[in-house]
C-alpha cells in the first residue's frame, strides 16, 4: 500500500522511474549504511585502530540480506533514526563481540550524511545520463531543422520567422549549462562525513583524520574540509540544481503544449496507442508527457526552497531542519527523474509537422513579414518613411482582410521600385531567418567542445 504518487503502484511509472526509485529505496539506503560501516571497519583495521579480526568479521556481515527490515522499522520508530538499529543488528551478527568495534568513533549523522552523498552520486549519475540523452536529442533536432522555418512568437503573438532548429538550440544552450553546473557542484557535494557527535572527531583519540580520509577514499568521495553536520549549502545546492534543470524542462513542455494546440499543430509528442487520445473526441492529441513534466518540475522548485530552509540549522546538530532534507531530497530526485524521462521521450520521438509550420507562417497574410518589408524598402524610400508606409498598409490589410503582398504590389510608391517577384521575395519568411542558422551552429559547436572536454 503506497500513499505517495512516487510509490503508487498506479502512478509511479508516470511520475518517476524505477531506477531512481531504486536509488532512494529503503533497501539501497540501508545498503549504503552497511557500505559505510564496512569501509570504516576496513580503514580502522588497516590503521590498527580496531583489531583486524574485528574488521574482517564486521566486513563479512555488511550485506543487506542479513538485515531484518521489519525489526529495523520498529527500532527506527523507537529511536527516531535507523542507524543505531542497523549498527545493533550488525553488532549482533558478529561473533565473539567483535561487533563492538563496529561504528567506532562514528555518530548517527556521519553515516546518514555519507549515505546521502552516495545516494546523491547515484541520483546525479542518472540525471547526468538523461541530460546527455536530452542534449543529444536536441542536437539532432537542431541539425535536422536548422533551416526549417516557423513563426517566432512573442507574447503569444506571431512575430517574425525563426527556424525550429533555432528554437531547439535555445533549449540546448541551457542544457549545456546545466551539464557544466553539474560538473562544478559535484566536487562540493560528493564528500563524506565522519566527524563524531559534535563534528570534532573527539571520539577517536588517534587516527581521527586518517580514518576520515581513508573512509572517504574507500567510498570514492572527497574528504570534507570540516564537518558539515549543520553546514548544508551543498545539499541545498543539489536541490537548486534540480530546480534549475526543471525550469528548462518546464520551458520545453510549455512550448510543446502550445505547439500541440489544435489551432497550431506544429509538433506532437510521440504517439503511443491509447495515450493522450480520447475515446469520444478523435481529434484530440493530448500532450500527456508535457503535463507530467509541468507538474513534476513545479513541485521540485518548491522543494528547492524547502532545502534552502533546511540550511537554517542550529548549532552542531540541527533540530528539525535536517529532517526536511530526508523528506524532500528523495522526492526531488524521483520527480525530476520522471520529468527527465518524459522530456527525453518527447524529444527523441517528437513529430515535427514542417508543412503546418510553413502554413502557420501564412495565416496573418503576410503581416508577420512587415518588419522585413520595412527594412527591404528602406534603401528605396527611406527607412522612416518605409516604416510608416508599411505600417499603414498593414493596417489596411487587417481592415480589408487582404494579403500584404497584394497591397504592396498595388501601391504606386512601392511598385515603382520593386515588382511582384521582388516583393514576394521580401514577403517570404525563408528569406528572413536572420542568424537562426548561425546561432544553431554556435550552440552545436559549444556542445561538441563540451562533449569532447568531458570525454577527455
# binding residues, a second copy (CB under 8 A): 189
Q: Which is nearer to a second copy, 6 or 36 (CB)?
A: 6
Out of 237, 340, 346, 350, the only residue in the binding site for a second copy (CB under 8 A) is: 237
Measure the CA angle with vertex 17, ends 13 and 20; round to 5°. 150
CA–CA dist 25, 318 (Å, integer): 24
Residue 88 is a catalytic residue: no
Q: Is 194 in the site for a second copy (CB under 8 A)?
A: no
Residue 321: alpha-carbon gap to chain centroid:
25
* Of residues 82, 105, 302, 312, the one with CA closest to residue 199: 105
Out of 102, 169, 407, 408, the only residue in the binding site for a second copy (CB under 8 A) is: 169
Out of 56, 133, 140, 170, the only residue in the binding site for a second copy (CB under 8 A) is: 170
Q: Which is nearer to a second copy, 139 or 234 (CB)?
A: 234
The interface with a second copy within residues 288-347 (CB under 8 A) comprises 288, 290-299, 301-306, 308-324, 326-328, 330-331, 334-335
* DSSP-H helix ranges across 24-68: 26-46, 52-61
Out of 131, 204, 350, 407, the only residue in the binding site for a second copy (CB under 8 A) is: 204
CA–CA dist 138, 346 (Å, integer): 10
Element housing 157 (H / E): strand 157-163
Long-range contacts of 41-46 (CB under 8 A, 24+ apart): 41/101, 41/102, 41/104, 42/218, 43/210, 43/211, 43/214, 43/215, 43/218, 44/101, 44/104, 44/105, 44/207, 44/211, 44/214, 46/214
Out of 65, 205, 412, 455, the only residue in the binding site for a second copy (CB under 8 A) is: 205
Neighbouring residues of 220: CB distance < 8 A, sequence distance ≥ 6: none
Q: Which stretch binds a second copy (CB under 8 A): 36-44, 343-351, 393-401, 410-418?
A: 393-401
Q: Which stretch binds a second copy (CB under 8 A): 41-49, 125-133, 250-258, 414-422?
A: 250-258
Out of 125, 202, 430, 448, the only residue in the binding site for a second copy (CB under 8 A) is: 202
Phi and psi at residue 363, to the nearest 5°: -70, -20
**Per-residue binding letters, 87-116, with a second copy (x by CB under 8 A):** ----------x--x----------------
Residue 181 is a catalytic residue: no
Give yes or no for a contact between 310 and 233, defined as CB atoms under 8 angstroms apart.
no
Looking at 29, 143, 317, 358, which residue is catalytic?
A: 317
Phi and psi at residue 440, to the nearest 5°: -55, -45
Out of 193, 246, 414, 418, the only residue in the binding site for a second copy (CB under 8 A) is: 246
The interface with a second copy within residues 357-386 (CB under 8 A) comprises 360, 363-364, 367-368, 370-372, 374-375, 383-384
Nearest distance from C-beta of residue 18 to a second copy, angstroms: 9
What b/e readout covers 443-452, taking b as 16+ CB neighbours within 10 angstroms?
bbeebeebbe
The interface with a second copy within residues 111-150 (CB under 8 A) comprises none
Q: Which stretch binds a second copy (CB under 8 A): 35-43, 124-132, 164-172, 408-416?
A: 164-172
Nearest distance from C-beta of residue 435 to a second copy, angstroms: 4
CA–CA dist 366, 392 (Å, integer): 14
Nearest distance from C-beta of residue 121 to a second copy, angstroms: 16
Q: Is 68 in the site for a second copy (CB under 8 A)?
A: no
Out of 8, 60, 132, 415, the only residue in the binding site for a second copy (CB under 8 A) is: 8
Q: Which stretch binds a second copy (CB under 8 A): 35-43, 124-132, 180-188, 411-419?
A: 180-188
* Of residues 410, 338, 395, 447, the one with CA closest to residue 19: 338
**Per-residue binding letters, 396-435, with a second copy (x by CB under 8 A):** --x---------------------------------xxxx
Neighbouring residues of 35: CB distance < 8 A, sequence distance ≥ 6: 62, 118, 219
Whose cell is 532534507? That residue is: 325
Q: Is 164 in the site for a second copy (CB under 8 A)?
A: no
CA–CA dist 127, 124 (Å, integer): 5
**Count of C-beta atoms within a 10 Å radius of residue 381:** 16
Radius of gyration of the chain (CA): 30
Looking at 4, 73, 78, 278, which residue is catalytic?
A: 278
Nearest distance from C-beta of residue 159 to a second copy, angstroms: 5
Nearest distance from C-beta of residue 4 to a second copy, angstroms: 4
Out of 278, 351, 416, 419, the only residue in the binding site for a second copy (CB under 8 A) is: 278
Residues involved in catalysis: 278, 317
Amino acid at each position: 500500500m503506497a500513499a505517495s504518487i512516487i510509490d503508487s503502484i498506479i502512478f509511479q511509472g508516470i511520475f518517476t522511474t524505477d531506477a531512481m526509485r531504486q536509488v532512494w529505496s529503503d533497501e539501497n539506503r540501508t545498503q549504503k549504511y552497511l557500505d559505510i560501516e564496512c569501509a570504516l571497519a576496513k580503514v580502522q583495521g588497516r590503521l590498527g585502530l580496531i583489531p583486524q579480526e574485528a574488521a574482517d568479521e564486521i566486513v563479512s556481515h555488511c550485506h543487506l540480506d542479513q538485515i531484518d527490515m521489519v525489526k529495523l522499522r520498529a527500532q527506527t520508530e523507537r529511536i527516531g533514526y535507523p542507524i543505531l538499529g542497523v549498527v545493533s543488528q550488525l553488532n549482533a551478527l558478529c561473533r565473539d563481540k567483535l561487533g563492538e568495534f563496529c561504528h567506532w568513533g562514528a555518530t548517527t549523522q556521519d553515516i546518514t550524511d555519507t549515505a546521502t552523498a552516495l545516494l546523491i552520486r547515484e541520483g546525479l549519475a542518472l540525471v547526468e545520463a538523461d541530460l546527455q540523452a536530452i542534449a543529444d536529442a536536441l542536437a539532432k533536432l537542431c541539425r535536422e531543422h536548422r533551416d526549417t522555418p516557423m513563426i517566432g512568437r512573442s507574447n503569444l503573438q506571431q512575430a517574425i520567422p525563426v527556424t525550429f532548429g533555432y528554437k531547439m538550440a535555445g533549449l540546448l544552450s541551457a542544457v549545456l549549462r546545466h551539464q557544466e553546473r553539474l560538473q562544478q557542484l559535484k566536487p562540493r557535494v560528493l564528500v563524506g562525513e565522519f566527524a563524531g557527535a559534535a563534528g570534532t572527531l573527539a571520539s577517536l583519540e588517534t587516527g581521527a583524520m586518517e580514518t576520515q580520509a581513508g573512509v572517504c577514499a574507500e567510498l570514492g568521495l572527497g574528504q570534507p574540509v570540516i564537518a558539515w553536520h549543520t553546514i548544508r549549502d551543498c545539499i541545498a545546492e543539489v536541490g537548486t540544481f534540480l530546480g534549475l534543470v526543471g525550469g528548462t524542462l518546464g520551458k520545453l513542455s510549455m512550448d510543446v503544449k502550445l505547439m500541440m494546440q489544435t489551432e497550431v499543430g506544429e509538433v506532437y509528442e510521440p504517439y503511443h496507442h491509447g495515450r493522450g487520445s480520447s475515446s469520444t473526441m478523435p481529434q484530440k492529441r493530448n500532450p500527456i508527457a508535457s503535463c507530467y513534466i509541468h507538474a513534476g518540475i513545479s513541485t521540485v522548485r518548491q522543494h528547492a526552497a524547502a532545502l534552502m530552509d533546511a540550511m537554517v540549522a542550529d548549532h552542531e546538530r540541527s533540530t528539525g531542519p535536517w529532517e526536511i532534507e530526508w523528506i524532500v531530497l528523495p522526492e526531488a530526485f524521483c520527480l525530476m527523474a520522471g520529468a527527465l524521462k518524459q522530456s527525453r521521450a518527447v524529444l527523441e520521438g517528437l513529430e515535427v509537422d514542417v508543412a503546418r509550420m510553413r502554413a502557420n507562417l501564412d495565416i496573418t497574410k503576410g503581416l508577420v513579414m512587415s518588419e522585413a518589408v520595412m527594412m527591404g524598402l528602406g534603401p528605396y524610400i527611406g527607412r522612416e518613411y518605409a516604416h510608416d508606409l508599411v505600417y499603414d498598409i498593414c493596417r489596411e490589410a487587417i481592415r480589408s482582410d487582404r494579403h500584404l503582398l497584394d497591397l504592396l504590389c498595388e501601391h504606386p510608391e512601392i511598385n515603382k521600385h520593386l515588382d511582384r517577384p521582388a516583393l514576394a521575395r521580401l514577403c517570404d519568411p525563408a528569406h528572413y531567418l536572420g542568424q537562426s542558422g548561425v546561432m544553431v551552429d554556435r550552440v552545436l559547436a559549444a556542445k561538441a567542445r563540451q562533449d569532447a572536454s568531458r570525454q577527455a
